[in-house]
Amino acid sequence: MRRRRAEPIGKILAKLIEKLGIGAKMSEQRAVTEWAEIVGEKVAAHTRAVRVDKGRLFVEVDSPVWSQELTFMKRKIMREINRRIGREAIEHVHFVLGGSRPHDPIRNSGKDEEDGKG
């Protein structure tokens, strides 16, 4: 009986990802997981990439001022995301007022004190 040579796990996973057709989704997800590295510490402190849906990246912003500022930087941000991913995965970035970060002073201001939890 002939023995097969062991194949590196990375190669096996790459084949499986391709076969399952989830490579594009995984590329898109990198925009979310690498958001802070892509935009830098200052912007990341006021934003949170939430999800990607059909090439649209949704980003929560903690204030209207940041939303407007980032709107002006949208093309540059998309170029950098797609450069890092290695393909044109993100076609549009939507900035939405959110502030759902646990340490966000806007969302948590006064709420805990009113509930008696703060």
* CATH number of residue 91's parent domain: 3.30.300.180
Distance CA 78, CA 40 (A): 14
Distance CA 11, CA 5 (A): 13
The answer to whether residue 2 sits within a structural domain is no
DSSP 8-state class, residue 57: E
Distance CA 37, CA 59 (A): 14
The answer to whether residue 1 sits within a structural domain is no
Give me the pLDDT at residue 95, please: 96
Is a pLDDT exceeding 90 seen at residue 14?
Answer: no
The answer to whether residue 4 sits within a structural domain is no
Render pLDDT for 27-81 as a digit per residue (tens, 0 to 9). Answer: 888 999 999 999 999 999 999 999 999 899 999 999 999 999 999 999 999 999 9
The answer to whether residue 83 sits within a structural domain is yes
The answer to whether residue 68 sits within a structural domain is yes
Report percent pLDDT > 70 for the chain.
81
Q: Euclidean distance between the first and final Cα of the chain, in Å?
A: 70
The answer to whether residue 21 sits within a structural domain is yes
The answer to whether residue 61 sits within a structural domain is yes
Give me the pLDDT at residue 63, please: 94
The answer to whether residue 24 sits within a structural domain is yes
Domain of residue 16, residue span: 9-115
Number of domains in the chain: 1
